[in-house]
Structure 1
Amino acid sequence: MRVSTIKDRKKGLNKFLVFLFWIAVWQILYLIIQRDIYVPSPFDVFNRLNELIFMLSFWETVFSSIYRVIMGMLLSIVFGVVFGILASLNSYIFDLLNPLVSAIKSTPVISFIIIALIWFSSSNVPIFICFLMCFPIIWTNVVEGIRNVDKKLLEMADVYRVNRWLVLREIYLPSITPYFTAATITALGLGWKVSVAAEVLSHPRNGIGTHLYSAKVYLDSVDLFAWTLVVIILSILFENIFSRLLRSARKHRKELV
């Protein structure tokens, strides 16, 4: 217990030192350039961030963006898992979906955002873009996970007529989980990027992207950097929450076994 506590403290200290290092690099850049419009002082940015967190409008904006990312991610996970399972079990479905997924991967995000602006309201554009960009990642990894299931284990389960639920839980699930975990963590980071990018162009009433666009229009670099930091913090926070939930789920599963 003490060893794990010491390790956690060392890890936390290392992260803090890395954080201080990059703040120092930022401050040095600010001192070299000495023009706030290009690189504002980190102290000014953190002061602005401190002002923002005490505003009601800030939290309305943050929660609106969080809602859009969560909805886009949920849609991509649901459709990615369902169609990933179908595609891995049926070659015709895979051949049908693979060109579509390849097209989504190769098409610039800006093209989809412009199309989505015609199809949807400004509030729904970020949700659609988040779903569209994250779906290929989930789908591809689910397909790969199922295809890489140990065939010998499946043959053995078939010979001994093991219950299908047990086969799913004990053979398929452990094989798919690493692929799904990696896909979801990658998709979370991408989801925040594309959702905010969509907000910048669609200008929903409440959205981090809307504030980023306003900061750019008024050449307010301090606000621009402050809202960018908010996106980075939220993205890291979501990834950490998801990783911890997965770890606790694995621990719970091992205890049941």
Structure 2
Amino acid sequence: MTQKLAIATFKPPNKSLKTVLKRFPQLQGLVIPAFILVAWESAAQLGWVAPNLLPAPSTVLSTIWELASKGELWQHIGITLYRVFLGFLVGAISATILGRLTGYSKIVHAFLDPLIQSLRSIPSLAWVPLFILWLGIQETSKVTLVAVGVFFPIYLSLMSGIRDVDRKLIEVGKIYRLKNWQLIVRVFLPATLPAYVVGVRSGLGLGWMFVVAAELMGASQGLGFLLVDGQSTGRPAITIASILLFAIFGKLTDSLVVLLSSRFLNWQDSYIAKA
């Protein structure tokens, strides 16, 4: 009798969508994209959108699979990743050096910062003719253009972060007779690191944007080339597939930066908004 009662009163665990999302918060960011894909596929299947203008997600995925099975897609992805990575490396190192100099030195800031701020307002496509003229259409011009896009957000974030450090923290460090390198390690570095990480993330995002312009410079490979090739040959599925891959790899690289930086920012007692 007791066993029957236990069986009768047993309730299965709640496996609603809300419970799953609470248990796995990483999945919450997939809800809206999934909804958009379902609505998009439904509209395409019902004929609400013209397939020659906006092909269905299933068509885009089959196009990606076809390109990947031929091996063509991996070449385009590989060369784009190479350009973004190398351009990011060059731009980030240059921005870190100059941002540190203009942040620490009033003289360097007075002479150098106005020029950099003026160059920052130049659109990315405006650099293309000059880089082709100076550097040709080889990889150097493409990597340089990506580096330009990466440079400015990192430079501005680091320079502003250094100049915005609370003067009281520096005075306390001097009271404890910290040397210059100790002030940098114990005061400036922790105080500027959050702003620097934001600049790195912004610079990386612009690097992915600038690589599209870079791959217009006589490129025969790359996701940017694939994007334009789909447009020029009247194959919108290839164009949308390229855009989707840009979004995926951009998000993956940004998540990698967040993951790596979180190990150095775990000391922050930051505000986390409630639901």
For Structure 1 versus Structure 2, the TM-score category normalised by the shorter chain is 0.7 to 0.9
The whole-number CA distance in structure 1 between the counterparts of 2:66 and 2:219 is 23
Mapping for residues 1-257 of structure 1, pairs under 5 Å: 9-27=23-41, 30=44, 31=46, 33-120=48-135, 121-199=137-215, 201-250=216-265
8 Å contact from structure 1 (residues 126, 196) kept in 2: no
Partner of 1:255: none
Counterpart secondary structure, 1:154: helix
RMSD of equivalent CA atoms: 2.3
The whole-number CA distance in structure 2 between the counterparts of 1:100 and 1:153 is 30
Amino acid at match of 1:230: L
Structure 1: 5+ residue stretches without partners: 1-5, 253-257
Amino acid at match of 1:133: G
Change (3 A) 1:186 1:25: farther
Higher helix share: 1
The whole-number CA distance in structure 1 between the counterparts of 2:35 and 2:119 is 38
Which segment drifts farther, 160-169 or 109-118?
A: 160-169
Amino acid at match of 1:71: L
Q: Alignment identity in percent?
A: 24
Deviations 1:127-186 (A, max 9, x none): 111111221111111111111112112112223212433322221111111111101111
8 Å contact from structure 1 (residues 123, 205) kept in 2: no
Which segment drifts farther, 135-144 or 53-62?
A: 53-62
Under a length normalisation based on structure 2, what TM-score does the superposition of the two structures give? 0.82
Which segment drifts farther, 31-40 or 143-152?
A: 31-40
Q: After TM superposition, which residue ranges in structure 1, 4 or more long, deviate above 6 angstroms?
A: none
Deviation at 1:87, TM superposition (A): 0.8
Bigger Rg, which one: 2
Change (3 A) 1:110 1:33: farther
Under a length normalisation based on structure 1, what TM-score does the superposition of the two structures give? 0.87
8 Å contact from structure 2 (residues 158, 192) kept in 1: yes
The whole-number CA distance in structure 2 between the counterparts of 1:111 and 1:101 is 16
The whole-number CA distance in structure 1 between the counterparts of 2:196 and 2:141 is 25
Deviations 1:51-80 (A, max 9, x none): 223332321221111111111111111111
